[in-house]
Amino acid sequence: MEARNLEKRLWLKGSGLLSTIHEIARLTTKVAKDDPRRLIHSLKFGLTISLVSFFYYLNPLYVTFRTSTMWAVLTVVVVFEFSVGATIGKGLNRGLATLVGGALGLGANHFASLFGKNYEPEPVFITLFVFLQAVVSTYIRFYPKVKARYDYGMLMFILTFCLISISGLRTDEIFDLAKERLSTILIGASTCVIVSIFVSPVWAGEDLHNLVAQNIEKLGSFLEGVMDESLRKSENEKLARASLNSVVVDSKSCEEALANFARWEPGHGRFMYRHPWKQYLKIGNLTRLCACRVEALNGYLITSIINQAPQEVHEALSRMSAQAGKALKELASSVETMTSSSYKINPQIASLKIASSNLKSILKSGLCEEYYKNLLQVIPVAALLIDTVASVEQIADAVNE
Amino acid sequence: MEARNLEKRLWLKGSGLLSTIHEIARLTTKVAKDDPRRLIHSLKFGLTISLVSFFYYLNPLYVTFRTSTMWAVLTVVVVFEFSVGATIGKGLNRGLATLVGGALGLGANHFASLFGKNYEPEPVFITLFVFLQAVVSTYIRFYPKVKARYDYGMLMFILTFCLISISGLRTDEIFDLAKERLSTILIGASTCVIVSIFVSPVWAGEDLHNLVAQNIEKLGSFLEGVMDESLRKSENEKLARASLNSVVVDSKSCEEALANFARWEPGHGRFMYRHPWKQYLKIGNLTRLCACRVEALNGYLITSIINQAPQEVHEALSRMSAQAGKALKELASSVETMTSSSYKINPQIASLKIASSNLKSILKSGLCEEYYKNLLQVIPVAALLIDTVASVEQIADAVNE
């Protein structure tokens, strides 16, 4: 009996372990399946760090830079990011901050040495400078614009200033130290930037571009099918749509981060250096507003509601949602290909406007007055659809800009 | 003439400079006004870094730790964060990652030395290990759970592993180096944690708690006034409300970050160690859903619309929105004080339900059939209000849990 219990317990433990392993394996494949570039990024990072660690093995280089070589490794680990924009942004931030922080640190050290004995800097002054600098820089990090783009640079500025001004107390070769550290950091950062640009680059700008276009596309295909009974019946379809909508609603912070990274990127492919990234944020915001309305529309059991409505209303609603969906898809492909297809879109928007005012007048007509009770639930749906159409028009305006 | 032009230009430049200075001064006061704890945080950071830099000045300590003292300064700069939870999370991540990364780095170094001559580690093996470790760790950083809580730890693990295993090639005293570095990092991290807990602490958990309660409160006071003409007239009021709503809608990423930090915090004040932080996220999500509906409601020119409606409908709508607002405020204070005030809230929710079904039956009655055309715009408002009430009920359920 005991033996069997033990066996059972072991078996349970074993199957628990197995299911954990299984879960981890599933997660691992999912990470790569969601975005295969993640695997490539990992390999790129491995490559870069191996390259930089070579500096340590090559004797001539080691003689020049001594233990400062470590700073090249450190820089690679911290600066190498997923997208080109983020890597360049961090690299530039780090390089500039090290330069400015180092220079000011040397200055503070020199100033403090004026008050010391035998040109040994006075610890009290150094501590005072470090304290003041830390307080002011930390405070500046709270400024919204600084936080969005230069947070890492401010951090590195504080770090370098402290390290240089404090270590000045001990090292006579402070200039050499600063020079070595700066050059190793430059080597590390430039290796990162070169690898990230030339080995299968991931452009934040392109990601932003695609994300915005995809979100509009998703909304479009949802709207096209929203009145179609057969499309709405399958459970999987519903789940997919629900998650789709929450993605559209939640994508704000992701878009803002991408736009911040994209500003650092040089021109590439179809994007010039000063591509109007802000416009994408505007389109993204309008898309989310539209998604908010579509999600509300999704909350109604539309098919059962509109079947109660008179034939005319039913038809007008279906036609309008299909048209709005098609217009959104057209807008998405216009964003996608970056061509101004206003000659295609403008007529669609115009006919959407006509359909919208038609629906309003049908609802106001005597015909509908008879069906009043049946229409109680249809009217909110119609109102939402009219609002949705209005926000589709806003998106079209923003895209055409 | 020329002199006057020059004067004018100088004056323009001067006034441009002045307005820039003015703008910066405005920003500076705004940062502190929005949250006075930011100023305190800056002072705390200055204090901590000055404390740690003392290690450098005290000779006995310098003799023990030598240049590794720099790592204490570096740790403080990187680990010290605004809230206690974030600081502890980063400190623990850094400490553990340094420990594990260091141990594995030593192991890799030892293993590579088995294949080298005279126990000098073989560079090829070291590079291989570094490459493999970098690829695997970078890949793991993409796992959603790891990204949310252990991203910084993974980065530090990669860093320490690379530094220790590579520098092992050059330093005989690798054990001493690892020990020194670990102890200075521990000194830096624990100084950060101690200062952040004991000098006017900022608890992420408390911030999350207040944010969730405030958002419900804001929605409540908005709903209370939504049908009131006089309240809606002033332009400032409107702007404040618009920004208020966008805050409520956009607060998701902020709440998630706070909940992640809050999990690291020890028990404090009214919060125990394992406070159900996830419940706050659930309430927050429901609040945002409700805000989405309230914002749609806000899109209508409600006062002019409901004035067309018959008296009964008008009254029912006003009563309902006022009641819903009051219920939300009650919920907010229930979250705020962490008391289960279900005996207060349950009757309110019950009467809200009754009001909601009353409104539905009024709309279905013959009375309204006469007013059909006037009601065309009222019905969507009513439907939205009914939905809002439904999501208020959901929030109440979540709060009572």
Query: For A31-57, how does the pLDDT look when each residue is reduced to its tens digit (9 = 90+)?
Result: 888 888 888 999 999 999 888 887 767
Tell me the one-letter amino acid at B316: A
A162/B62 Cβ within 8 A: no
**What is the Cα–Cα distance from A300 to A288, expressed in whole angstroms?**
19
A49/B131 Cβ within 8 A: yes
The pLDDT assigned to B26 comes to 87
A167/B53 Cβ within 8 A: no
- Whether the Cβ atoms of residue A314 and residue A192 lie closer than 8 Å to each other: no
Q: Which positions in chain A touch B296 (Cβ < 8 Å)?
A: 292-293, 296, 387
A56/B166 Cβ within 8 A: yes
- Residues with Cβ within 8 Å of residue B164, at least 6 apart in sequence: B101, B102, B105, B106, B109, B174, B177, B178
Q: How far does A315 lie from chain B, in Å, by closest CA?
A: 19
Identify the closest residue of chain A to B68 by CA–CA distance: A167
User: Look-up: residue for tokens 């504080």?
Assistant: A158
- Residues with Cβ within 8 Å of residue B234, at least 6 apart in sequence: none
Identify the closest residue of chain B to A385 by CA–CA distance: B380
In three-state secondary structure terms, A121 is coil
**What is the Cα–Cα distance from A379 to B383, expressed in whole angstroms?**
9
Q: What is the dihedral sign for C-alpha A63, A66, A68, A69?
A: positive
pLDDT at B371 over 80: no
Give the mutation candidate from A49, A80, A133, A290 for the B interface (greatest B CB count, under 10 A): A49
In three-state secondary structure terms, A37 is helix
Residue in A41, A53, A368 closest to B162 by CB: A53
Q: What number of H helices and E strands is found in chain A?
A: 20, 0
**More confident of the two residues B7 and A41:** A41
The pLDDT assigned to B6 comes to 67
* Closest by CA position to B356, among listed B331, B332, B391, B305: B391
**More confident of the two residues A248 and A297:** A297
pLDDT tens for B332-358 read 888 887 776 666 777 777 787 887 777
For chain B, positions 118-157, list CB contacts with chain A under 8 A.
123, 126-127, 130-132, 134-136, 138-139, 142-143, 155
Tell me the one-letter amino acid at B136: V
Identify the closest residue of chain A to B147 by CA–CA distance: A31
Which residue spans within B213-318 are E strands per DSSP? none
Confidence band (pLDDT; 50, 70, 90) for A314?
Answer: confident
Mean pLDDT of chain B: 78
Most distant CA atoms of chain A, gap in Å: 102
- Residues with Cβ within 8 Å of residue A49, at least 6 apart in sequence: A73, A76, A77, B130, B131, B134, B158, B162
The pLDDT assigned to B137 comes to 92
Taking the Cβ of residue B106 and every Cβ of chain A, the question of whether any pair is shorter than 8 Å is answered with no
**What is the Cα–Cα distance from A379 to A386, expressed in whole angstroms?**
10
B74/A159 Cβ within 8 A: yes
Taking the Cβ of residue A293 and every Cβ of chain B, the question of whether any pair is shorter than 8 Å is answered with yes
B380/A162 Cβ within 8 A: no
Most distant CA atoms of chain B, gap in Å: 102
Taking the Cβ of residue B252 and every Cβ of chain A, the question of whether any pair is shorter than 8 Å is answered with yes
* Closest by CA position to B110, among listed B60, B26, B175: B175
In this structure, the number of other CB atoms found within 10 A of the CB of residue A8 comes to 10
pLDDT tens for B284-336 read 888 887 777 777 777 665 566 666 667 777 777 788 888 888 888 888 888 88
In this structure, the number of other CB atoms found within 10 A of the CB of residue B300 comes to 18
A169/B57 Cβ within 8 A: yes
Report the percentage of chain B scoring pLDDT > 90: 6
- Mean pLDDT, residues B92-109 taken together: 87
B166/A139 Cβ within 8 A: no
B369/A369 Cβ within 8 A: yes
For chain A, positions 1-60, list CB contacts with chain B under 8 A.
27-28, 31-32, 38-39, 41-43, 45-47, 49-50, 53-54, 56-57
B373/A372 Cβ within 8 A: no
Identify the closest residue of chain A to B72 by CA–CA distance: A163
**What is the Cα–Cα distance from B192 to B49, expressed in whole angstroms?**
9
- Mean pLDDT, residues A73-97 taken together: 89
**More confident of the two residues B399 and A85:** A85
The conformational region for residue A269 under phi > 0 = left, psi -120 to 50 = alpha, else beta, is left
The least confident of A194-198, A285-289, A341-345, B23-27 is A341-345
Q: How far does A79 lie from chain B, in Å, by closest CA?
A: 11
**More confident of the two residues B117 and B90:** B90
B167/A56 Cβ within 8 A: yes
Tell me the CA distances in angstroms from B213 to A317, A324, B195, B220, B336, one per residue in order: 40, 38, 28, 11, 6
- Mean pLDDT, residues A132-151 taken together: 89
Taking the Cβ of residue A292 and every Cβ of chain B, the question of whether any pair is shorter than 8 Å is answered with yes
The pLDDT assigned to A315 comes to 78
The pLDDT assigned to B288 comes to 80
Mean pLDDT of chain A: 78
Q: Which positions in chain B touch A384 (Cβ < 8 Å)?
A: 380
- Whether the Cβ atoms of residue A77 and residue B161 lie closer than 8 Å to each other: no
* Closest by CA position to A355, among listed A375, A380, A325: A325
**What is the Cα–Cα distance from A379 to B116, expressed in whole angstroms?**
81
Taking the Cβ of residue B313 and every Cβ of chain A, the question of whether any pair is shorter than 8 Å is answered with no
pTM of the model: 0.80
The pLDDT assigned to A1 comes to 52
Tell me the one-letter amino acid at A47: L
Taking the Cβ of residue B372 and every Cβ of chain A, the question of whether any pair is shorter than 8 Å is answered with yes
- Mean pLDDT, residues A120-126 taken together: 74
Taking the Cβ of residue B212 and every Cβ of chain A, the question of whether any pair is shorter than 8 Å is answered with no
Give the mutation candidate from B166, B245, B294, B374 for the A interface (greatest A CB count, under 10 A): B166
Structure tokens at B262: 């809050």
DSSP notation for A325-393: HHHHHHHHHHHHHT---HHHHHHHHHHHHHHHHHHHHHHHSHHHHHTHHHHTTHHHHHHHHHHHHHHHH
A54/B127 Cβ within 8 A: yes
Confidence band (pLDDT; 50, 70, 90) for A7?
Answer: confident
Residue in B127, B163, B364 closest to A70 by CB: B163
In this structure, the number of other CB atoms found within 10 A of the CB of residue B296 comes to 21
Taking the Cβ of residue B368 and every Cβ of chain A, the question of whether any pair is shorter than 8 Å is answered with yes
pLDDT tens for A259-312 read 888 888 887 777 776 677 888 888 888 888 787 777 777 766 556 666 666 777
CA geometry: angle B126, B92, B83, nearest 5 deg: 135
A380/B53 Cβ within 8 A: no
The least confident of A347-356, B86-95, B200-209 is A347-356
Give the mutation candidate from B29, B41, B48, B49 for the A interface (greatest A CB count, under 10 A): B49
**More confident of the two residues B1 and A27:** A27
Highest mean pLDDT among A75-89, A353-367, B235-249, B261-275: A75-89
* Closest by CA position to B313, among listed B251, B253, B346, B360: B360
Taking the Cβ of residue B166 and every Cβ of chain A, the question of whether any pair is shorter than 8 Å is answered with yes
Q: Helix, strand, coil shares of chain A as percentages rounded to 5?
A: 85, 0, 15
B39/A139 Cβ within 8 A: yes
Tell me the CA distances in angstroms from A167 to A122, A132, A158, B7, B187, one per residue in order: 13, 17, 14, 49, 18
Q: What is the dihedral sign for C-alpha A189, A194, A199, A202?
A: positive
Q: How far does A23 lie from chain B, in Å, by closest CA?
A: 12
Structure tokens at B268: 């404090």
The pLDDT assigned to A136 comes to 92
Taking the Cβ of residue B401 and every Cβ of chain A, the question of whether any pair is shorter than 8 Å is answered with no
Number of A/B CB contacts below 8 angstroms equals 178
B184 strand-pairing partners: none
The pLDDT assigned to A112 comes to 81
A163/B70 Cβ within 8 A: yes
